[in-house]
Amino acid sequence: MKRVLIAGGGFGGFYAARRLERLAPEDVRITLINDVNFMLYTPLLPGAAAGSLEPRHVVVPLRERLERTELRLGWVIGGDPANSKLEVELIAGHTIQFDYHQLVVALGSVSRTFPIPGLAAHAIGFKTIAEAIALRNRLVRFLETAEEIDEPERRRPYLNFVFVGAGYAGLEGVAELQDFALDALAYYPRCREVGTRWILVDAAPRIMPQIQPQLARFTEDVLRRRGIEIMLETQLTEVTDESVTLTSGETIPCRTVCWTAGVKASPVAERLGLPLEQGRIACDERMRVRGHHNVWAIGDVAAIPDPARPGEPCPPTAQHAIRQGKLIAGNVAAALGDPRRDVRPFAYKTRGMFADLGRHNAVANVLGGRLKGFPAWALCRFYHLAWVPGIRRKIRLIADWTVDFWFRRDTAELGQLGHPPGLEEHMPPSAETGDGLASARALIDRPGG
């Protein structure tokens, strides 16, 4: 039996598997390897971070949506393309060499960081559901902490938030979280006295290079009017657990730095024995990895020539990954010998983009036209509803958005979720040692807390 192996079950890998289920003959086995059993719908991540969407509603369980694909949970750790093998460490703990006739690599990207002192130790990314929820929990926990502090000046670092990177992740993240904080402040009178401060920093001279300058200016105005400070042509020089220093020389007391300044291809790409182009897997316009007849790559991990910008690779966006995933299914079917299919080049050009600014406001560049304010926000919601796979998920999103429209957001801090205490940790705190308190604090400080 021939096997098509898909490494990575995000936008690219999921859509490739779905389309292949229809196109590949019955005697072809489709295997998808992913490190988690869901696909994260990243454009909805800011909503999950701000508590307007239930975290489980912004992910798509792979087993629910895939019918004949065999899902294997594990981590791709290496490859031997000369012998058509991929090395995977399965979650059960053992390592397997998977054989394949055709391989599609769709392992996505990771946050790209720079050697800024203290950045890796103190900043948090905004690419995974764990990071989004940790960010929200940290915000609530810091409101609680600041509320306990008597001196207003000492409350400051807990109430200042710095986002780095003014692309859609940073922009939507800062807008949604500030919105949530303003809601939450109603319950924190001492924090209200000091107020929160929100700062968006970017090294570039403008925000959102992906949209037209006029829309970018409109977005900037909306955010500034809301009290978000935007510092352009500015970089970080140092991060500590209590402050951030900028190239302008300013030091901002701050305990939350969210890093969204760009992505780079998954580092696993370097271990697959495939040619690379600036860290991404080098592909031709048909998405075939250069020099390998049975290996393909798509999405953020792949450098596929961009039909819209000759000489440049496709930008790392979900729009591109989805279209590449769908197209590659046909190309793989053709490579498997389906006489009705050709191996076709990737020809998609971006038709538009949205940035949701929260509070019923958004900007959109659609089919060459510009839209802003409520119409853009409504269109943005419809667009995501159309793309999120599965009717049940769509209904859940509509329910979440409806509740969010009418009610204040929840301020419960559930950092302990997924980290239950050991039985011995249920013991009451001892008066002498304060052990109970220490274990409670340890729980809160765990990752994801």
Query: Where does this chain bind ligand FAD (CB under 6 A)?
Result: 8-13, 33-36, 42-43, 45, 75-76, 106-108, 126-127, 168-169, 266, 268, 299-301, 316-319, 321
Nearest to 255 by CA among 122, 411, 367: 122
State the nearest-atom distance from the C-beta of 447 to ligand FAD, in Å: 16
State the nearest-atom distance from the C-beta of 144 to ligand FAD, in Å: 26
Cα–Cα distance measured from residue 11 to residue 259, given in angstroms and rounded to the nearest whole number: 22
Cα–Cα distance measured from residue 237 to residue 90, given in angstroms and rounded to the nearest whole number: 40
Select 13 or 305, whichever has its Cβ closest to ligand FAD.
Answer: 13
Tell me the two tokens of residue 169.
Answer: 């992740």
State the nearest-atom distance from the C-beta of 216 to ligand FAD, in Å: 15
Three-state DSSP state, 95 = strand
Select 252 or 263, whichever has its Cβ closest to ligand FAD.
Answer: 263
Select 5 or 239, whichever has its Cβ closest to ligand FAD.
Answer: 5
Select 76 or 159, whichever has its Cβ closest to ligand FAD.
Answer: 76
State the nearest-atom distance from the C-beta of 416 to ligand FAD, in Å: 24
- 80 beta partners: 85
Can you tell me which residue has the tokens 């304060």?
A: 434
Could you tell me how far CA 174 lies from the centroid of its own chain? Answer: 14
Residues 6 or more apart whose CB falls under 8 angstroms from that of 138 comprise 124, 256
State the nearest-atom distance from the C-beta of 28 to ligand FAD, in Å: 21
State the nearest-atom distance from the C-beta of 370 to ligand FAD, in Å: 17
Select 8 or 330, whichever has its Cβ closest to ligand FAD.
Answer: 8
CB 191 within 8 A of CB 185: yes
Tell me the two tokens of residue 166.
Answer: 């003014």
Tell me the two tokens of residue 76.
Answer: 């791709």
Select 190 or 394, whichever has its Cβ closest to ligand FAD.
Answer: 394
Nearest to 268 by CA among 254, 279, 255: 279
Task: Give φ, ψ of 33 to 5 degrees.
Answer: -110, 125
State the nearest-atom distance from the C-beta of 81 to ligand FAD, in Å: 16
Residue closest to ligand FAD, measured at CB: 10
Select 254 or 303, whichever has its Cβ closest to ligand FAD.
Answer: 303
